Amino acid sequence: MNILFTICGRAGSKGFKNKNLKEINHIPLVYYTLAVILGYIKSNPHHQVSVVLNTDSKSLKELIQKQSKLPVLYVERKEKLAGDIIPKVEVIQDTYLQMIELAPDVIIDLDITSPYRRVKDLESIVEIFSSGKYDIVFSVVQARRNPYFNMVEKKEDGFYRKICQSSCIARQQAPHSFELNASIYAYKPTFLKGKIDRTILDYQCGISIMPDYLVLDIDSEEDFEMMQYLYDFYCEKDIGLKEIYEIARTINHEEIKE
């Protein structure tokens, strides 16, 4: 399989300034993303892999260029795609179209600010995508709240009721619900070649379920502090996370030596 990994990070972020440049355990977040790709390549040497960074951040580009463990191509983020409300899929689509000569079988986007992932999570995404059924396959966790049971919204009469109408009186009766954890997205090339005029959740989607403790992504200072606190804890319990941390450390050590 020919895989194109995309890493997308813009310079500006109003919600949490410079979040793409943050460090966990003194290791830049983006090195955890490179680490999981390196781990995947080691476990799947028969796959052809390319990696491309799409950014308008000079600092992020320099971080990537400082390491030599993994070759990374570069696409300059277009100004029209650098706004706060631009759907990320448009950035991924633009990246793919500029790299179309690589002829990937799948485009996999790895979010910089969702570093809780393991090689087996990538392998699961690829396996599910390989069925050919889906336009998109994304990572999820089991939802802790369920719109059929214990999530409410304000209705037209001013009262609050369940988001989805149901007669469920116990959580076990409610349909299974899943929460996107903003970590891994796999796209079919033909999907990215076409016109995308709806949210990605309105197309033919598949899911890959990750453990519910791999749900954190960074959108605020509080998210980041929680992620720093929990990362060491989960690394001790999850050998897959520990593996990625050790690879990321070798990338960072190389930079420090230079």
Q: What is the DSSP string of the chain?
A: -EEEEEEEE-S--SSSTTGGG-EETTEEHHHHHHHHHHHHHHH-TTSEEEEEEEES-HHHHHHHHH--SS--EEEEPPGGG-STT--HHHHHHHHHHHTGGG--SEEEEE-TT-----HHHHHHHHHHHTTS--SEEEEEEE-SS-TTTT-EEE-TTS-EEESS-----SGGGSPP-EEEEEEEEEE-HHHHHS---S-GGGS-EEEEE--TTS----SSHHHHHHHHHHHHHHHHH-HHHHHHHHHHHHHHHHHHH-
Question: Domain holding 89: CATH number?
Answer: 3.90.550.10
Residue 159 placed within a domain: no
Q: What is the pLDDT of residue 16?
A: 66
Give the mean pLDDT of 127-146: 95
Q: What is the pLDDT of residue 187?
A: 98
- Rounded to two decimals, what is the model's pTM? 0.92
Residue 156 placed within a domain: no
Tens digit of pLDDT for each residue in 137-190? 999 999 989 999 999 999 999 999 999 999 998 888 999 999 999 899 999 999
Residue 153 placed within a domain: no
How much of the chain exceeds pLDDT 90, in percent?
73
CA torsion sign, 57 to 23 to 217 to 3? positive
Residue 229 placed within a domain: yes
Angstrom distance (rounded) from CA 55 to CA 51: 13
Is the pLDDT assigned to residue 228 strictly greater than 60? yes
Is the pLDDT assigned to residue 101 strictly greater than 80? yes
The partner residues of 3 in beta bridges, in order of sequence, read 49, 106
Is the pLDDT assigned to residue 257 strictly greater than 60? no
Residue 168 placed within a domain: no
Residue 63 placed within a domain: yes
Domain that holds residue 252: 2-141+178-257
Is the pLDDT assigned to residue 217 strictly greater than 80? no
Q: What is the pLDDT of residue 113?
A: 87
Tens digit of pLDDT for each residue in 9-42? 988 665 567 788 888 889 999 999 999 999 999 9
**Number of structural domains the chain divides into:** 1
Give the mean pLDDT of 50-58: 96
Give the mean pLDDT of 43-58: 96
Q: Average pLDDT over the chain, rounded to whole?
A: 91
Q: What is the pLDDT of residue 214?
A: 79
Residue 200 placed within a domain: yes
Backbone torsions φ then ψ of 91, nearest 5 degrees:
-70, -45
Q: What is the pLDDT of residue 229?
A: 83
Query: What do you get for the CA distance between the two ends of the chain, in Å?
Result: 34
How much of the chain exceeds pLDDT 70, in percent?
96
Q: What is the pLDDT of residue 245?
A: 94
Is the pLDDT assigned to residue 256 strictly greater than 60? no
Q: What is the pLDDT of residue 12?
A: 67
Residue 75 placed within a domain: yes
Confidence of residue 102 (pLDDT cuts 50, 70, 90): very high
Is the pLDDT assigned to residue 258 strictly greater than 50? no
Amino acid at 162: K
